[in-house]
Amino acid sequence: MTTIRVAHLYPDYLNIYADRGNMAVLRRRAEWRGHELEITGLGMADSIVAGAHDLFYIGGGQDREQLLVAADLSSKAEPLIAAVEEGCALLAVCGGYQLLGRRYRGFHGEEMPGVGLLPLETVAGEGRLIGNVLLECEVEPGLRRTLAGFENHAGRTLLDPRARPLGRVVCGYGNDGESGWEGCRLKGAVGTYLHGPLLPRNPWLADWLLARALAHRSGGEPTALEPLLDELEAGAHAVSAGRAQAGGGAAAVRRWPRRARPAGS
């Protein structure tokens, strides 16, 4: 049995939209394979210690909560960036995703410093981008998968020209409602606007993160995990994807044309 050490950043602040469910999925899928998840909440007074964790998780929050944690999180940028460079996995959702860029400017002009891990910036727009989302992703060369979830954000996230998006928007708005891209990833780090929570209906992404966390723990290379019986998860994914394709949700769903992959992806 391997103990996967997880750092949940600011669980008392960044915890909306049932995103805590992502942690439950990671725990259970690790346990089903004979491993253990050791989750530690890291708040304002806590440091990120080199080598102490294998996976980091940052949930979503509204502008008020983001403003409360932004300066503290940016002060921990160096060890967090180093951890990802050393092979740690990381999942950041919505508000957490925005704060992993260089900066986030809120609706009222609040300037929030970012970690600078992901090559992007975010500025709040006039209206919210709300609805069901379906993405096409290729996190492993030649292996295309889909991600389904729900987005609700005012932020317009702009990726740098050579940034690697998480996926191409099939249905929904994505990062900014215009580019046709959603999320961003760098090494084992993933940032996304998809709520729901995300992992119960997309178990392949949970396993992708766990494989990288296990590799970091062992000092080896990520390898495919033993498959699980995911009939319920596949059903949840199908329902969510169907809603996106049917235009379900609080806003009209856009369908984006297939676009060229950005340089460096």
Please report, in tens digits, the pLDDT of each residue of the chain (265 residues total).
Answer: 899 999 999 999 998 877 789 999 999 999 999 999 999 999 999 999 999 999 999 998 888 899 999 999 999 999 999 999 999 999 999 999 999 999 999 888 899 999 999 999 999 999 999 999 999 999 988 899 999 999 999 999 999 999 999 999 999 999 999 999 999 999 999 999 998 789 999 999 999 999 999 999 999 999 989 999 999 999 999 999 999 999 844 444 445 444 444 444 3
Give the whole-angstrom CA distance, residue 8 versus residue 258.
35
* Residue pointed to by tokens 């099939």: 170
Q: Collect all residues with Cβ–Cβ distance below 8 Å to 116 and sequence separation of at least 6.
A: 74, 77, 81, 101, 102
Dihedrals phi, psi of 75, to nearest 5 degrees: -70, -15
Check 153, 195, 216, 237 and give the catalytic one: 195
User: Residue 149: which H helix or E strand, with range?
Assistant: strand 143-159
Q: In the prediction, which pLDDT does 256 show?
A: 47
184 is catalytic: no
Q: Is 108 a catalytic residue?
A: no
The domain at 3-246 falls in which architecture?
3-Layer(aba) Sandwich (3.40)
pLDDT value for 20: 81
Question: Order of strands, edge to edge, in the sheet holding 3-9?
Answer: 36-42, 3-9, 55-58, 89-93, 189-192, 184-186
Strand-pair partners of 124: 155
The DSSP string of 201-260 is: G-HHHHHHHHHHHHHHHHTS---PPPP---HHHHHHHHHHHHHHHHT-SSSPPPBPPP-P
Distances (CA, A) of 109 to 63, 106, 157: 11, 5, 15
Pick the catalytic residue from 88, 94, 171, 184. Answer: 94
What pLDDT was estimated at residue 260?
A: 45
Question: Considering the entire predicted model, what is its pTM?
Answer: 0.93
